[in-house]
Every structure is written in structure tokens, then in C-alpha cells.
Amino acid sequence: MISIQKISKFFNKGKTNEVTALNDISLQINDGEFLVVVGSNGSGKTTLLNIIAGVELPSSGRIEMNGNDVTPLPEYKRSRWVARVFQNPNNGTAPDLTILENFRLAALRTQRKNMTIGINAAFKKKVQEKISDLGMGLENKINQPMGNLSGGQRQALTLLMSVMDDTNILLLDEPTAALDPKSALVVLKLADKLNKDLGITTILITHNIKDAHQYGNRLIQLNEGKILRDMNTDMKSGLSLPDIFEWFG
Amino acid sequence: MSQFYLTALQLSICLGPMALGIFITMKIFNIPDITTDGSYTLGAVVAAVLLSNHWPVMVVLPLCMIAGSLAGICTALIHTKLKIDALLAGILVMTGLYSVNLIILGRSNVPLINIHSIFNTLSIFKNEIYNKLFVALLIIIVLIFLLRYLLLTDFGIAMRATGNNPIMTKSMGINNDIIKIIGLAIANGLTALSGFLVAQYQSFADINMGIGIVITGLGSVLIADALRIWLNVSNIGLQILFVLAGSFIFQLVLAFSLAMGIDPNYLKLVTALFVLFIVALPRVSSQLKRAN
């Protein structure tokens, strides 16, 4: 569970170009929830996600994960709970490392990286099995550099990598923005499957109203750093696509 | 004449650890670290002082490497904690080290004659040159295996990923700063090992012996990189071997220049021009291709 308590974030505080990215937001995200966040540019969506991931620290307020106060923790320490998929498909994987090596790092996300060789036959087999579920034919290319793959393939693998280790929270920051429609579908379906099968709390930021309508069991709209609308499962299932379009009218 | 090239081989092996250090900073971490000039001399002066005082060589070797590592840690701390550009951090530490080295050595040049050096710990061959070569080869082979192993471990994967995609590694629970500090410590420890070897190989330590040595390491790594791209190799073990091959080719070119009768005073100029040649070659050839 993620508990966001009275979080505010200001940029350039006290200067003429001061920006209030988040304005006293409180939000409770329950275990296994698939939360979709929409909002126009500058509404604070990305700042909210960055604050949950630990990329930015809040100006005020408190954030808890599974009952632990994580407010001051840097990004690499929050990775104990949080896995991420980035908007830019290149950010989630190391291009010069092989697919296998990328998966090895992901499998150790919450653990120490020891000076022992961790890639063995059993690990290879496990990775191949996971990758073959994607149906992209990448299971025979695990020794190729990640950089050889397309953006869609890399994004799908980044998502798979996020569940190689114990994951409570999955953050998806416009993961399909740079992808073609077919790859986008693969990635979102996989995210949906991981949320349903493994019960991972998932937060998806998107500009795509159709995706916001189709996926997730809770929908919030941010506007000028505040939560404008918060639709629970019942309210969200009652929404039609034009209803959501109207929010931006 | 053959002895001429044998000397080049010997020197290239002694400088091999430094080239591997540059490989770690430049290719693995993507950090331009030029602490090298200082940490190389540091390794040499620590070796000279301790060996002159009859310390056992097997104690002096790790001490030299630790001294180099400390220099690397200084650069890494300035770079990561004070957020100062790595190049400037390296220059600052390198400059400071000149005085430190002078204080340790006590004067600008110390001869190492009649000391118990690493090269006469083993006497397998009658010919002293072959014996030196054998000892140096033994050290470099151990080093190749250790470094290859390190880079293939989980920690090694984390090291390589940090240089390759720091955004990703943060999300993978890796503290990029700590990894860089350890990486620069290893790299400069290796550089100091070269200083330790060369001082005993040439039988003296000189306060100026490190000036411009970083270019030798850079040149070796650039040659290795050209080989890697040309032969399309991604195997870590082979890449390490390529760096050592690069070091040998580099020394060969210098030996050849001397053999052709080039004034030794021009050697640094030859070195700089040779590195320029290696860097420019792929660019010029791709421009020529486009022109055609």
C-alpha cells in the first residue's frame, strides 16, 4: 500500500518563476490496485510519479510504502518496493549488456550485487521461459546486446524485468508514448496481466484516453497539482469514453 | 634488434595494468579519469622508498596498489559527492599528487640498484631478460583472469550497467556513486601496479615518470576499441586481451620510431600524433566513404 500524505512540491521556490507542481495532495493506493492517472501537461502527473519513485523529494508531506516511511529515501533505496518502466524505452535497459545480463540485474533489484557469478544454466532457463511467454521470439536471443532490439521489444522486456524480483509497486510513466500501436497493446496487456496475476499495485500515467478507459480499476485526474476527480472501480466502470473526453473539454 | 622488440613487449606488459585501468574508467564507466599520471608515479615512488628500505616485495606490491586506490577514491569522491566534473577532479588529484610523490620520494630521482625486486623473485631462465618477461607475464595473466571474473560477476554486471545506463541502474537498487568510487579505486590501483612494475623494470623511480603516461593507456584502449569494432567482438575476456594487445602495438610503434632514429625528445610528439591517428582514422575513412 502507498500512502501519500499532504505532499507538496515546489520548483524554484521564492523566485519569480516559482512553480507549484503538486499542491497538498493526499492519496491512498491500496494493494493490488491498478490506478490510472490522467491530466493535461503540467498537471503534476510526472512529478507525482517521480515523488513516489524517489527521483524527486517532496517539499513537504510524507510518503509511506507498506507502512514504512520512505519520504527521505533516494531512488536506489526505494527500488526495494518499486519497479519502473520509463517513457523512453532506452531508459529501462542497458544497451551494451546482453538481454540475459539485463535480466540478471533486474533479478537482483532488491538484493546485493555480489562478486560471484550469478548467471548459470538454471537462471538462463528461467529467463528464456519468461521471455517466451511474450511470443516475440526473443528467447533465443538472450545473449545479444539489448541495444539490438526495437523500442517496443525493449519496453516489453523492461516490464518483464520488473517482476524478476519481489515487486510491490509498478510505476508506468507513459510507457507506450514512444511505441507503435501494436507494441503498445502488447505492453499494456502485459501490465494488466501482471497486475491481475501477481496482484502488483500498478500506477499508469497516460495521455491516451482510450487506455485510461480500458485499463485499471481506479482513475484519477490531476489538474494544477491537485486531484480533480477520483473514480473508484464502480464509478470508473460506469464511465463511457466520451465522459472522460469531456473532462478535458 | 630482436632485443629492441623484446623490450617493447616487456614494457607493454608492465604498462598493461594501467591500460586495463583506463579501460575500466573510460569504457566501463564512461568517465575520463586522468588521475593516472599521478597514481602511476605514486605506485613507483612507494615501491622505490619501501624497496630501498628492504621491505619484502610481496608486501610492497599490495601497498602500492592500495596507495593508487586511495588516489582513485579521492578523485571519485570529488566527482560524486561534490558533483565536480570528472576531468577536473582527476586534474586536481593528479596535480596534488605531484607534491605528495615528491614528499614520499624525498628527492626527484631514486635509483633501485641492488635491491630485491619482483623480477628477481623467480629465476627460471638463465637470461635475465627472459626471466623479467616471465614474471611480468605471470602477473598479467593472473590479472586477466581476475578482471574477467570480476566483470562477469553480479557486481561486474552492475559496474558495466552503471557506465552504460545510470538511469536504469538507480531503478535497479544500485548506488551509482558507490560503484563509481569502487571502480576508480580498482582502476587507479591497477595504474599504481604499473608504476610499481616499471620502476623495478627500469631500476629507478623518477618524479616525472608519469607525465603524459595517461596517453599511453588511452592509446591502448583506443586500439583495443578499433579491434573490437573491426572484429565485432563483445566477449569481455577478448576485450581485455585487446587492451593488452593495444598496449603492445603502442610500444611497438614507439620502439620502431626510435629504431628509425627519431630523437627521443620527440617521442611524446610521436605518441600524441599516433593517438591522433588512431582516433581520426575511422572518422576520416567514413568521410571519404561518404564523399565517394
Q: What is the model's pLDDT at position B283?
A: 81
What is the rounded CA–CA span in Å between residue A208 and residue A202?
A: 17
Q: CB distance B153–A106 less than 8 Å? A: no
HEC profile of A51-102:
HHHCCCCCCEEEEEECCEECCCCCHHHHCCCEEEECCCCCCCCCCCCEHHHH
* pLDDT tens, position by position, B193-252: 999 999 999 999 999 999 989 999 999 999 999 899 888 888 899 999 999 999 999 999
Which chain B positions have a beta carbon within 8 Å of A115's beta carbon?
150, 153-156
> Are the CB atoms for A3 and A185 separated by under 8 Å?
no
Q: List the one residue out of A38, A91, A27 whose CA is nearest residue A64.
A: A27
Q: What angle do CA A132, A135, A139 make, to 5 degrees?
A: 35
Which chain B residues contact residue A116 at CB under 8 A?
153-154
Res A166: pLDDT: 87
Centroid of chain to Cα B55: 24
Sign of CA dihedral B107, B112, B118, B119: positive
A75 touches chain B (CB under 8 A): yes
Distance CA(B34)–CA(B26), nearest Å, equals 10
What is the pLDDT, as a whole number, of residue A101?
A: 96
User: ipTM of the assembly?
Assistant: 0.90
Q: Which residues of chain A have pLDDT under 70?
A: none
pLDDT at B1: 54
Question: Which chain B residues are Cβ-neighbours of A113 within 8 angstroms?
Answer: 153-155, 157-158, 174
pLDDT at res. B230: 86
Nearest to B172 among A90, A106, A114 (CB): A106
Give residues 134 to 163 of A whose Cβ lies within 8 Å of B: 145
Chain B residue with the nearest C-alpha to that of A170: B171
Distance from CA of B165 to the nearest CA of A (A): 5
Q: Do B154 and A79 touch (CB under 8 A)?
A: no
Residues of chain B with pLDDT under 50: none
Q: Torsion angle, CA of B146/B150/B152/B157, rounded to 10 degrees? A: -160
B214 contacts: CB under 8 Å, gap ≥ 6: B22, B34, B36, B37
For the entire predicted model, the pTM comes to 0.91
Alpha-carbon gap: A246 to the closest alpha carbon of chain B (Å): 36
The β-bridge partners of B111 are B204
Mutate to test the interface with B, among A56, A76, A88, A167 (most CBs of B within 10 A): A76
